[in-house]
Amino acid sequence: MEDWASSRVALVTGGGRRVGKAIATALHKSGYKVVIHCNSSKDAALEFANELNSQRSDTAFVVSGDLSKDVVDTCRRLVKEATEKWGRLDLLVNNASLFFLTPLDTATDQQWNQLMDTNLKAPYFLAQAASPHLRKTKGSIINMCDIIGEQASPPLTIYGISKAALIMTTKNLAIELGPEVRVNYICPGAVMWPEVEKEHHDDSFRNEWLSRTPLNAIGTGENVADAVLFLASPSSSYMTGSCIRICGGRSLRL
């Protein structure tokens, strides 16, 4: 357990499974108390929280809500529940995200709104709700972006637009919330293949993706969690508005 983390509280959205679970696990292991947000995976999140609480009593807590519906009210409620549990908040990790294909010919208004609300609007209004608490603790925000937010990759077009906008949101919030709160972002590449249309993420797609990844490997949730720990720690105390790419070099030739 790290001394710097032992009294701190983190809220991780989408923290009950996949990359979010790896992030919450790493934060908890370092000494954080973790608030695990979930939506459809509440049973898995509760089981995960029980597991963490068995390791250290009263150190994990679950909050739930659909970040694509009633976004502002949902964000305010989640932060309220998170801060009431232990009376403070030191870290917000905006990890929850929707990911699906939106070819131009078939993209819909509903798809646009779902992706923008979950991937962009929710992180912004979670930051708004959390910022008074984070200012008190001189905490930080880490936004989970994507290398597809930096370079085009259709037909993930609307997803990419949402992540590009989240990158710019991060940079603006770093200015608005400084010097008390640091705001940084992580851009993963092929980290835990997403659960998306099989005809897109088939073996040929994966082989082609890896052929242009210099490290020729798929990343793990733990790789991303290591970057989160670094950005949350005193070791990154002079970083804000900055990015860490966890992509095996894939962004060099997307």
Tell me what pLDDT residue 18 has.
95
Question: What 3-state class would DSSP assign to 36?
Answer: strand
- The strands making up 60-64's β-sheet, listed across from edge to edge, are 60-64, 33-38, 9-12, 91-94, 140-144, 182-188, 243-246
Q: What is the mean pLDDT of residues 126-134?
A: 98
Mean pLDDT of the chain: 94
Split at pLDDT 50, 70, 90, the class of 6 is: very high
Tell me what pLDDT residue 244 has.
98
Q: Which of 32, 124, 159, 185 is catalytic?
A: 159
Among the listed residues 223, 26, 183, the one whose alpha carbon sits nearest the alpha carbon of residue 91: 183
Position 202 pLDDT exceeds 90: no
Q: Is 197 exposed, middle or buried (0-12, 13-18, 19+ CB in 10 A)?
A: exposed
- 89 vs 203: which has the higher pLDDT: 89
pLDDT digits (tens, 9 = 90+) for 151-184: 999 999 999 999 999 999 999 999 999 999 999 9
- 88 vs 206: which has the higher pLDDT: 88
Tell me what pLDDT residue 205 has.
72
Give helix 122-137 / helix 71-86 axis angle, nearest 10°.
30
Single-letter amino acid code for the residue at 165: A
Distance CA 196, CA 207 (A): 16
Distance CA 55, CA 78 (A): 25
Q: Is the pTM of this model over 0.75?
A: yes
All domains in the chain, ordered by first residue? 3-246 (3.40.50.720)
Position 197 pLDDT exceeds 60: no
DSSP label at residue 191: B
pLDDT digits (tens, 9 = 90+) for 45-65: 999 999 999 999 999 999 999
When mean pLDDT is compared across 64-78, 93-107, 210-224, the lowest value belongs to 210-224
- Quote the tokens at residue 32: 């954080």
Percent of the chain with pLDDT strictly greater than 70: 96
Q: What separation in angstroms does the CA of 103 have from each of 17, 106, 112, 132, 254?
A: 28, 6, 11, 40, 19
Decide if 32 is catalytic: no
Split at pLDDT 50, 70, 90, the class of 187 is: very high
Give helix 122-137 / helix 157-177 axis angle, nearest 10°.
20
Position 198 pLDDT exceeds 70: no
Q: Are 95 and 144 in contact (CB under 8 A)?
A: yes
Split at pLDDT 50, 70, 90, the class of 31 is: very high
Q: What is the mean pLDDT of residues 121-128?
A: 98
